Amino acid sequence: MKLWMLRALVLGAWLVGGGVRAAEAPWRSLFDGKTQAGWAATPFAGAGEVEVRDGTLVLNQGILTGVHWTNEFPTVDYELSLEAQRVLGIDFFCGLTFPVGPDHLTLIVGGWGGSVVGLSNIDGDSANQNATTSLERFESGRWYALRLRVVSTNVSVWLDERRIIDLDTRGKRLSLREGEIERSKPLGVASWSTTAALRQLRWRPIAAAAAAPSADAGRPPAPAAALPAETLTAMDRLVSGMLASRGGWDRLAELCDTFGARPSASPALDSAVDWILARMRDDGLENVHGEPVAVPRWERGTESVEMLSPRRERLPMLGLGGSVGTPPGGISAPVVVVTNFAELSQRAPEARGRIVLFDVPFTEYGQTVRFRTQGAVEAAKAGAVASLVRSVADDSLRTPHTGAMRYEDGVPRIPHAALAPEDAGRIAREVARGRPVTLRLEMSASERGTATNRNVVAEIRGREKPDEIVVLGGHIDSWDVGQGAQDDGGGCVAAWEALRWMKKLGLRPRRTVRCVLWTDEERGGRGAQAYREAHAAELPRHVVALEADAGTFTPLGFGFTGSDAARARLAPVHAFLGDRLGAGKADSRGVAADIAPLLERGVPVMSLHVDRARYFRVHHTEADTVDKVDPEALARCSAAMAAMVYAIADLPESLPR
């Protein structure tokens, strides 16, 4: 269909409606259920097969698999709808790229491990960290109805007739993520490492009257009322007292030195929780208790990597959490080096019977971590006997980084481990010189049943509305290396200190402030899920949930994921933090691992943002010890969190959802 015909349809619909209200144009099919007419397979590297099956358009699991529309399509004033289903896999099953005037966006449904919905990119931020981000629970095998509406000033998205995105595009920079997704333009649908099925793809033009924004569209929220004087005084007392104290660092040092690493299901974690609960009671906090959580027990055992050729050398390594072990005597095999999944797919015959090394330089954590979490699956599909990854870090002193990985049903389970970036790079250079590298990998890692851990809960009860709850916390578990000081002992102590200082200064806000130290964040987030289920009846009264899980370096501000009205109400708090702590930055990146399940139930969430320039130097390594935590920076993080949650808990009216 020619573009002038589309414009005529829009104008005709407007005229029929008398220019007053929209006459809904009929839907026009984009897929006949029998052929791929009008669509072409998008030439992504490592793409799966595209086929029509049982009246659906199927994007079979590959790395990035997709189709794009080969005919003209409007750029604005249109609606598009489809039904999508995740058939197999755990990542996004609908990556819908579409035009917005001269620009393009991609609607991600089920991304970043299976639950993220949002638009990429808004002002340079991806779908998992901008104002459109939300989390939804998606079931494999179920159809989900999606509807997209694009007008000159707004993009809206409905999921099963529930509007989940309402974005005023004025003043915002709209773009696609860098990379192959550009091949989806002007209109395309893709899936990532997932088999997806699509049906009922259709579109219709929107008449001008319907497309026109309302008088209130784009109008900024009304200016927030100033904080009450007594609230500001309390916030100032908290900040002054906490900045002058080294008590938080001393407490963190005692936790780390006494118990060391605190992996899920370990005696060390159980003893650390006992100690924390006793200290919280000594602090005079209220409703102090542990809440049981069933978690799997994985043990690292002994492990090693030795280079056998071109010369013999033992290399630093760490097995990845959840990996299987090697057979007795280990695995000795040549190495094939790849830099992405697409290259692995193209070189699959070379990988058979070999050890695959993913030598992928760090870009951003959310992108590079895919090779750690998914590398064993993709290597096994290519016939590899084991897989290694360049540690997910932007800085290193030859310290390998561990972290979680996963397997996939129906795919052989092969050992998976991390090398230091320096050694991964050296192996890649040797192979590029034409000098084959052979390694011997030995690992005795295994799953050893389940155990019971506990979430830690403590409160300052509200003086007027104790049933309304403001949550803050971090995760008390760590990996089994180092001391878990930056990840996330410091975040836990920062939250704990906020309550301790409220109690010490005799401050009791209108609402309850609850500290939660979640367990099992590193191995799957079962503590966060257990908290959500145990407190399901309270969630409508959860005002906000705040997490610190990015290290306790110099605080910069907070991200908030929630309504625009609530964001406006927080403006005076950000201003206060900017003046007192230089931590007044505010953005929409509020999601973190342990509070994501609460966001799925409608609870607004916040994250502490810090200067992370040195975070990945120690993240998930033996170097994550308490000496890497600066006492002043920890105190400033604690003070920022205390002031933020006190202000929210003491607002005359609750934050609007």
Catalytic residues: 521
What is the pairing mode between strands 542-547 and 465-475? parallel
CA distance 480 to 177: 35
Buried b (16+ CB within 10 A) or exposed e, 35-71: eeebbebbebebbbebebeeebbbbbbbbbbbbbbee
- CB burial of residue 412 (10 Å; 0-12, 13-18, 19+): middle
The alpha carbon of 433 is separated from its chain's Cα centroid by a whole number of angstroms, namely 38
CA atoms within 13 A of residue 246's CA, in its CB half-sphere: 6
Residue type, 25: A
CA distance 151 to 170: 11
Question: What does the angle CA 93 – CA 115 – CA 383 come to, to the nearest 5 degrees?
Answer: 55
Place of tokens 């505010």: 586
* Closest C-alpha among 615, 332, 379, 590 to residue 488: 615
Q: How many CB atoms lie within 10 A of CB 260?
A: 18
CA distance 629 to 631: 6
Are the C-beta atoms of 539 and 598 separated by less than 8 Å?
A: yes
Q: How many CB atoms lie within 10 A of CB 343?
A: 16
Are the C-beta atoms of 385 and 352 separated by less than 8 Å?
A: no
Buried b (16+ CB within 10 A) or exposed e, 106-139: bbbbbbbbbbbbbbbbbeebbbbbbbbbbbbebe
Are the C-beta atoms of 548 and 576 separated by less than 8 Å?
A: no
